[in-house]
A and B are shown apart, each in its own frame.
Chain A
Amino acid sequence: QSALTQPASVSGSPGQSITISCTGTSSDVGSYNLVSWYQQHPGKAPKLMIYEVNKRPSGVSNRFSGSKSGITASLTISGLQAEDEADYYCCVYAGSTIVVVFGGGTKLTVL
């Protein structure tokens, strides 16, 4: 089954910017502009932060942005705030057989 690789953890200080990567293959990230990112606080359901690579749902801060290059998608958070501390998951469409795959998740710590 398709696997997406995310760093286990990233950290940054308030006000700084961080980037979380999500590396897949030419069959998933590299083939479709169907990459989304989810924020999950402890004990809560995931929240959609970015969809279709770089689109933000209504109500999501413009400090969150997404991009993609080749087989790697990225989530960038600028102007880090304490409330951004959470787990972040990428999610991609992997074709009609495998369909949907989540990355392993990245724990963001705001120092």
Chain B
Amino acid sequence: QVQLQESGPGLVKPSETLSLTCTVSGGSINSYFWNWIRQPPGKGLEWIGYIYYNGNTNYNPSLKSRVSISVDTSKNQFSLELSSVTAADTAVYYCARHGTITNFDYWGQGSLVTVSS
């Protein structure tokens, strides 16, 4: 059974960079597409972007200038960096897998990141 687990700081200061890592277990990262999706408190879901195991990426145009997703196949992990954060970036951040796009079949439990000084 594939499992995903997010990890990283729960508090980030405004203007700094948010960094999260997703560890994949129970399966290889060397196939499928690996996504980051976020949900501000009390609001809906927003797709951030994905990475393929070979390093190919695709990002939400509204976040593209601030987002970077990378992969470490040796550790079965992929990571998110979101720069110049503001309070509007406060959210639960989920990592998720898709085979065919929009079919997010496995999700992490989510990691709450608060942007505050």
Q: Is the CB of A99 within 8 A of B47?
A: yes
Number of B residues, CB within 8 Å of A: 19
- The residue in A93, A97, A99, A103 that gathers the most chain B C-beta atoms within 10 A of its C-beta is A99
Interface residue tally on A, bucketed by range? 20 to 34
In angstroms, how far is the closest chain B Cβ from the Cβ of A79?
A: 25
In angstroms, how far is the closest chain B Cβ from the Cβ of A21?
A: 16
Q: Which residues of B contact A97 (CB under 8 A)?
A: 61
Our pick among B61, B101, B105, B109 for the contact of A48 (Cβ within 8 Å) is: B105
Asked whether any CB of chain A lies closer than 8 Å to the CB of B26, the reply is no
Asked whether any CB of chain A lies closer than 8 Å to the CB of B117, the reply is no
Q: Is the CB of B104 within 8 A of A48?
A: yes
- Enumerate A1-57 residues with CB–CB distance to B below 8 Å: 1, 34-36, 38, 45-48, 51-52, 57
User: Nearest residue in A to B58 (C-beta to C-beta)?
Assistant: A99
Q: Is the CB of A102 within 8 A of B101?
A: no
- Enumerate B68-113 residues with CB–CB distance to A below 8 Å: 94, 100-105, 107-110
- A contact set with B: CB distance below 8 Å: 1, 34-36, 38, 45-48, 51-52, 57, 89, 91-93, 97-105
- B contact set with A: CB distance below 8 Å: 44-47, 58, 60-62, 94, 100-105, 107-110
